Amino acid sequence: MSVAATQAIAPAAAESPFLPRLARIVAAEQFTPKEKWFRLVPYDGRPLAHPPMSFVQVSVFGVGEAPISVCSSPTREQAFELCVRAVGSVTNAIHRLGVGDTVGIRGPFGNGFDASAHKGKDFLFVAGGLGLAPARSLIQYVLDKRQDYGRVTILVGARTPGDLLFQNDIREWVSRPDVETHVTVDRPAEGWKGNVGVITTLFKKIKINPSATLAVIIGPPIMFKFAVLEALAYGIPEHRCICSLERRMKCGLGWCGHCQIRNVYVCKEGPVFTYEQVKKLREGI
């Protein structure tokens, strides 16, 4: 598709949330056999302007679209980043794309997380597996505005060392004196010198001021359940345990009902919820 054509489409896209903007892939990296990272730049030059922990609908023309969490902070306006797990026809088609290819982007969608409303607070991030992708958008935001926040603690878990995402970021966080970072894997590989065990085994390594801490917990449902119990045991209240619900999104606007849990549309009222809210939704986790 020519630049002229994309420029012709871009103004129309702004008129309807159902029409995608066009974005070019400017960088890509295969993290694991199932996860691939992309950096994208919109053709129209406008920043995505997304809140942390929101998502977009990514279109591969002729195939379909899929909801993907934005894994970069809105403080980095020149581009935005996605980490895509290949699980279906659309995400597998996205995996076949590379630098220079074009995709459609609708959104951002969802409520995201307003970190500016929590200045001065401590942050505890607990991210398992692909949950590190949406968590990373908020981690970057907090670190880019480091002077606005208190203690930052990051706990990362994966099945094996080879399944760890954003390994360059993790090394950077470990090296920072103003961030406490711990990593664990369920099954070690040869040469692994880090912690072995589920992510909740990392809680014994950290200190938490429960009156000042927000726990951001994102990962598989089973991990979330036990990580929340740990956070609550440390005295962090339910309304300051934050999660991101994964539900099949379609329209992104709360119209189609694909993501509905009871009377809640996750794509619109979420995907960010407090545990206080989630525990009232029996199908939430």
Give the domain extent around 209: 115-244
pLDDT by residue for the chain (285 residues), tens only, comes to: 444 444 444 444 446 878 999 999 999 999 999 999 999 999 999 999 999 999 999 999 999 999 999 999 999 988 999 999 999 999 999 999 999 999 999 999 988 899 999 999 999 999 999 999 999 999 999 999 999 999 999 999 999 999 999 999 999 999 999 999 999 999 999 989 999 999 999 999 999 999 999 999 999 888 988 999 999 999 999 999 999 876 556 666 666 777 777 777 777 776 888 899 888 776 655
- Do residues 86 and 141 both lie within one domain? no
Final residue belonging to a domain, choices 226, 244, 262: 244
Do both 97 and 127 map to the same domain?
Answer: no
Examine the domain organization and report whether 187 and 134 are in the same domain.
yes
SS3 92: helix
Return d(Cα 55, Cα 249) in angstroms, integer: 10
Q: Would residue 65 be called left, alpha or beta, if left means φ above 0 and alpha means ψ between -120 and 50 degrees?
A: beta
Residue 174 shares a structural domain with residue 72: no
Query: How many domains are there within the chain?
Result: 2
Q: Are residues 135 and 206 in the same domain?
A: yes
Q: Are residues 120 and 230 in the same domain?
A: yes
Q: What is the CATH number of the domain that holds 72?
A: 2.40.30.10
**Statement to judge: residues 128 and 91 lie in one domain:** no
Judgement on whether residues 59 and 139 belong to the same structural domain of the protein: no
Q: Do 82 and 45 contact (CB within 8 A), yes or no?
A: no
Residue 123 and residue 234 share a domain: yes
Answer yes or no: is 271 within a domain: no
pLDDT recorded at residue 267: 72
| Whole-angstrom distance, CA of residue 220 vs CA of residue 225 | 9
Q: What is the residue whose two structure tokens read 């922990």?
A: 53
- Tell me the CATH number at 232: 3.40.50.80
Residues 19 and 104 in one domain: yes
Q: Let me know how long the chain is.
A: 285
Of the residues 108, 127, 142, the one at which a domain ends: 108
Same domain, 151 and 217: yes
Whether 57 and 65 have beta carbons less than 8 Å apart is answered as yes
Would you say residue 56 lies in a domain? yes
